[in-house]
Amino acid sequence: MRKKIIIAVDGYSSCGKSTLAKDLAKELNYIYIDSGAMYRAVTLYFMDENIEIKDTNAINAALEKIQIRFRLNEILSRNETYLNDRNVEELIRSPQVSSRVSEVSAIKEVRQFLVKQQKEMGKERGIVMDGRDIGTVVFKDAELKLFITADVEVRAKRRHLEMMEKGISITIDEVKQNLDHRDHIDTHRAESPLYKANDAILIDNTILTRPQQLKLISNLAKKMIEEISENEANSQTE
Ligand code: DC
């Protein structure tokens, strides 16, 4: 029997973490969770309800009213984010939410609220989760930790293309500024800043294609699952 593991994928904004984590989960038949979507959903709620992000009481009261779920869209065969039963999958990717999400995700109460739910989602293992603190806070015991990076110019180009395809009008410079801004806040915040866990494997995908990256990492993951399963089987027969 194959043992199910936890795979934590962390890294900077727009370096292909979600694409990789999604592809990997599909390949391994694991659950994929986009933790960034959860921070984006909270940000959208705070924007809609005009929550003052320095007002801790207002934040705590707002968090009590927030329920985030992922549901499968069978037609698009992807998980979509629901905020209080409203499908917000597209809305949370808007430039407006992108420009506010780092500030909201630096709030201690928001992190505690979401980390608790993320830990719960990994209880059965067999999960690939991507974000900024997955290998360092949410799943410190993940069997496989990856830290993804890529050249910032390449990241800006990739994200710009994605946004143009969705019909969002924005310049490459604006995209790059948003990435720089988010990276700065994500790595400098007091609460769970983004950094590479000591036991995480660093992957720079600047010159890797999506299939190349997937092949490299899925081979790694399968080898690890094999080894862990064998060790477990051996220790049971000893
Ligand atoms: O992965 P993303 O770009 O959709 O994430 C949006 C923001 O959420 C990102 O700027 C930082 C924050 N985030 C975080 O602080 N911790 C996570 N585990 C995931 C995302």
pLDDT band at residue 197, thresholds of 50, 70 and 90? very high
Domain 6-231: which CATH class?
alpha beta
Q: Where are the domains of the chain?
A: 6-231
pLDDT tens for 49-91 read 999 999 999 999 999 999 999 999 999 888 999 999 999 999 9
Ligand 1 pocket mutation, candidates 98, 121, 132, 133, criterion most atoms within 8 A of CB: 132
134, 142, 129: which is closest to 24 by C-alpha?
129
| Smallest CA separation from ligand 1 atom 2, residue | 36
Question: Binning pLDDT at 50, 70 and 90, where does residue 161 land?
Answer: very high
Ligand 1 centre from 131 Cα, in Å? 6
Predicted TM-score (pTM) of the model is 0.93
Contact between 45 and 83 (Cβ < 8 Å): yes
Q: Quick one: pLDDT band at residue 237, thresholds 50, 70, 90?
A: confident
Q: How many angstroms does the Cα of residue 105 sit away from the middle of ligand 1?
A: 7
Span 30-39, pLDDT tens digits: 999 999 999 9
Atom of ligand 1 nearest to the CA of 101: 7
Amino acid at 205: N
Q: Give the pLDDT of residue 232.
A: 86
The alpha carbon of 186 and the centre of ligand 1 are apart by a number of angstroms equal to 8
C-alpha 152 – ligand 1 centre gap (Å): 17
Which one, of 11, 10, 13, lies nearest residue 99 by Cα? 13
pLDDT (0 to 100) of residue 108: 96
Q: Which of 9, 35, 92 to mutate to test the pocket of ligand 1 (most atoms within 8 A of CB)?
A: 35
Distances (CA, A) of 147 to 3, 7, 35, 150, 217: 23, 11, 15, 10, 12
